[in-house]
Amino acid sequence: MKIRLVMMGVAGCGKSSLAATVARDHALPVIEGDDFHSEASRDKMRAGIALTDADREGWLDLLAQQMAQCPQGVVLTCSALKRAYRDRLRAAAPGLRFVFLDIPPDEARTRVAARAGTHFFSLSLVDSQFATLESPTGEAGVLRVDARAPLAELRRQVADWLLSSVVNA
């Protein structure tokens, strides 16, 4: 089964941790979306300035190109906060599915604060991410999980979902 999966959600929800685990389980490469932000975008985020749709245009194009280089399957981390961003990624990778790591704002703030100094994302931007987020719940090909659950539980939920999609195909 070819798996093309995006771990999505606001900053601090655990996209990278779950992506690494799921990718390892399925022997897939991981594309860390944060690695493809331009230096100008990183500087904006460090300064606490939220990215615009225009700032994300080139980033989303790069992510689509990276996925295209993984025909065997891939796990991508990407906030994918708006439906338009998700649709753009879907157009570039037919069959793409999303795991939405849903997290309350206070927990996201706590997690982002805990990684201060090791990540460019400013704590002051967490609220802007929630303001931008268009929940994907109800969209086809989306699994919503509670980001506060233990990683092992999240891993099991994703594995069960992927298995059920093969069985029901």
Domain ranges of the chain: 3-167
- Higher pLDDT: 41 or 161? It is 161
pLDDT in tens, 33-48: 988 988 888 888 778 7
The model carries a pTM of: 0.90
The set of residues, in sequence order, having a beta carbon less than 8 Å from that of 53 and lying 6+ positions away, is 82, 84
Stretch among 61-70, 88-97, 113-122 having the lowest mean pLDDT: 113-122
Three-state SS across 53-66?
HHHHHHHHHHHHHH
Percentage of the residues of the chain whose pLDDT score is greater than 90: 66
End-to-end alpha-carbon separation of the chain, Å?
11
CATH number, domain 3-167, options 3.30.428.10, 3.40.50.300, 1.20.910.10, 3.40.250.10: 3.40.50.300
Among 31, 10, 13, smallest CA distance to 22 is for 31
Q: What pLDDT sits at residue 126? A: 85
Check residue 121 and give its pLDDT.
Answer: 62
* Stretch 63-76: mean pLDDT: 94
| Mean pLDDT, all residues of the chain | 90
Is the pLDDT at 51 greater than 60? The verdict is yes
Q: Give me the pLDDT at residue 130, please.
A: 93
Of the candidates 87, 105, 124, the residue with the CA atom closest to the CA atom of residue 9 = 105
What is the rounded average pLDDT of the residues 139-159? Answer: 97
Among 92-101, 114-123, 159-168, the range of highest mean pLDDT: 92-101
Asked if the model's pLDDT at residue 92 lies above 80, the reply is: yes
What is the mean pLDDT of the segment spanning 120-134? 81
